[in-house]
Structure 1
């Protein structure tokens, strides 16, 4: 039987209250003890995040394949039920909850990120564990107000990653021409939170944050913004926008008439497969990006993961979210094995919260707010395009290779 908790909506915005409304009255599929365990995957398979959504799909499939090859979970096979959440709007997230939980009766929800807000009122009313990556102060506050005990963010807050990323850029060995930075960011909480983290660390380091501006998804012409950027003559240009096509257009147009000696940092978008495909065409060497955490290609576990990914998909795993979402599945599977009952959601949620899991990307220990801290135990990576490929530059504070200047620098 589907159990749905009553949650407090006091203090939530109109948009999120709308997302709570209209729960469809589906008749759920009733599973027997012999039926496959159902892994629900609400992931973006269309829209600007589709290339990363495909990586999420591949990572979940590989984890489920590995579990099934080991005899399944509690002696039962696992199956995946996907739902396309597209551009991450509240209605898409609520529809995902209705379809995956109310109709399909899945046992867990796994994704990389689910709109950084609207996913909380969509999935919080249920008991099934929901593991994702999009932690922001707004999300953690909402979870506390709604008393969400089933939601886990397997990453740190966006602002923490912003502060770490700026510190990494200062330590990567590049001689910046001046101490001026320009920051562009998208409208999502994650983008704003990370941009604010970068700005905070920049000011702490004595830099001048010369310009901050919100930009839109789907932007194709950047002339006016680039003109204002050039007027500030920055040494570092930051764009935090989870839209690979728009960010690549920005980089391409900036490259045609760049600020003198400016490096460009593209945030998490720089790790997405679609952005890497653009970069492979050349003339983007030196552009920086990041990923929240990734497999270590020098470790035995990382090499085994890379080999499994190559066998399954014929290419290396992207740095964006491949290993992270594999870990998400395994965090849940480990808790299920410990509890011994895939439908004892309360016990599974307690076990995830109270246990520490050693995964491909690092160590996961969820704090009281149900997210994890980035650092030496779960290291973020600074990336850079070198020789037309996305390469790891720094692992937390550890330098992995020498930085290069942008291909358009004097």
Structure 2
């Protein structure tokens, strides 16, 4: 009788210990997102949310991840970095998410950074500034190219065309400020003299005063605008209204068809560095990115009847990299997932090929950028 009782107790104990594990295995993997789906950065954040929604639904239809469904929990920071901190806290403390795809803007990402570090939860950022990953932050990764890389790609093109005297017009947002800093830092490397340096606010509706100052600079050869969202479209319209004929460059912060819609005919001739997505169908048949970017473009169009943007592509890359890390980690243990993210190697995304490490939480190089130009109301590879 005693032996039977001991066996029964052991079975009961085993069942008690196993139940939480089985329950966890059935629980969804919770993906938290804080994105700018309204406000000045909405045309960046809106396609990011839409991309996550359609691809998470697809993953779930195909059986989920490690036998578990994905559940997206998302909040809109309205393009206000101050709100991102509160939403990140809610996702971590109340919603108990397993990892974060968050930060449409650099300001939002940096506002969340202290919480992420304290909680010890992986975050894959969708923002552009180099400060997000330099210096390396243990728990933060990112998928877009950096602002420094954008400046270098633009200056490569300018050097090729013989431009040496350039004006910089940057936004006072986190992305714009960081971009301006990086632009100044790499200009001399390419033999570029920044002979004017002006700023504008992300919500400004008129930038003609700054552009008039720039126009007055002697022997100016080109203008480089560093901003994101609606502001650069305002700058581009004002540029045309003032009749400035000099070449106009933008950063990857406006790499979207929405920029052309907002700027209209004034966008004609604008050049910028961009991922391959905007010219998916123009890529060579043997281009390693072509299958992925054309598939994403078709999927997005089928679901939303809208052209995809590079910003949505950043979200797809973040989701795919995050899911792959969970699979390699064998679950959602946060330290294991973080380590697996650092082991991302040879991953071809919409943004380029990612090779991350403990010292590089982005993993892209300059070859991932293509120089594009607006021609006849659409994006083409710049010659």
TM class, shorter-chain normalised? 0.7 to 0.9
- Go from structure 1 to structure 2 and tell me whether the alpha carbon gap of 1:207 and 1:165 turns closer, same or farther (over 3 Å shift): closer
Contact 1:218 1:243 in 2 (8 A): no
Residue-by-residue CA offset, 1:205-235 (whole Å, 9 max, x unaligned): 4333111123212112223212211111422
Q: 1:57 aligns with which of 42, 49, 52?
A: 49
Corresponding residue number in structure 2 for 1:312? 303
Corresponding position: 1:235 with 2:221: yes
Contact 2:175 2:228 in 1 (8 A): no
Determine the C-alpha separation between the residues in 2 that align with 1:307 and 1:138: 33
Corresponding residue number in structure 1 for 2:294? 303
Corresponding residue number in structure 2 for 1:104? 95
Q: 1:123 aligns with which of 100, 116, 121?
A: 116
> What TM-score does the superposition give when structure 1 sets the normalisation length?
0.77
- Go from structure 1 to structure 2 and tell me whether the alpha carbon gap of 1:268 and 1:301 turns closer, same or farther (over 3 Å shift): closer
- Go from structure 1 to structure 2 and tell me whether the alpha carbon gap of 1:188 and 1:221 turns closer, same or farther (over 3 Å shift): closer
Deviation at 1:349, TM superposition (A): 0.7
In the TM superposition, what are the counterparts of 1:167-182 in structure 2 within 5 Å? Answer: 167-171=156-160, 179-182=164-167
- Go from structure 1 to structure 2 and tell me whether the alpha carbon gap of 1:232 and 1:336 turns closer, same or farther (over 3 Å shift): same
In the TM superposition, what are the counterparts of 1:136-285 in structure 2 within 5 Å? Answer: 136=129, 138-140=131-133, 148-171=137-160, 179-233=164-218, 234-244=220-230, 246-259=231-244, 261-279=245-263, 281-285=264-268
Residue-by-residue CA offset, 1:297-351 (whole Å, 9 max, x unaligned): 4322222222211211113312x32222101101111111122212x11111111
How well do the aligned residues superpose, as a CA RMSD in angstroms? 2.5
- Go from structure 1 to structure 2 and tell me whether the alpha carbon gap of 1:69 and 1:271 turns closer, same or farther (over 3 Å shift): same
Corresponding residue number in structure 1 for 2:326? 336
Determine the C-alpha separation between the residues in 1 that align with 2:340 and 2:72: 23
Corresponding residue number in structure 2 for 1:287? 270
Q: Which moved more, 1:360-369 or 1:52-61?
A: 360-369
Determine the C-alpha separation between the residues in 1 that align with 2:336 and 2:192: 48
How many residues were matched structurally? 349
- Go from structure 1 to structure 2 and tell me whether the alpha carbon gap of 1:32 and 1:204 turns closer, same or farther (over 3 Å shift): closer
> What TM-score does the superposition give when structure 2 sets the normalisation length?
0.82
| Unaligned ranges ≥5, structure 2 | 1-22, 284-289
Corresponding residue number in structure 1 for 2:10? none
Determine the C-alpha separation between the residues in 2 that align with 1:136 and 1:248: 20
Deviation at 1:366, TM superposition (A): 1.9
Corresponding residue number in structure 2 for 1:38? 30
Q: 1:327 aligns with which of 309, 317, 330?
A: 317
Determine the C-alpha separation between the residues in 2 that align with 1:59 and 1:156: 19
| Unaligned ranges ≥5, structure 1 | 1-30, 394-400, 403-410
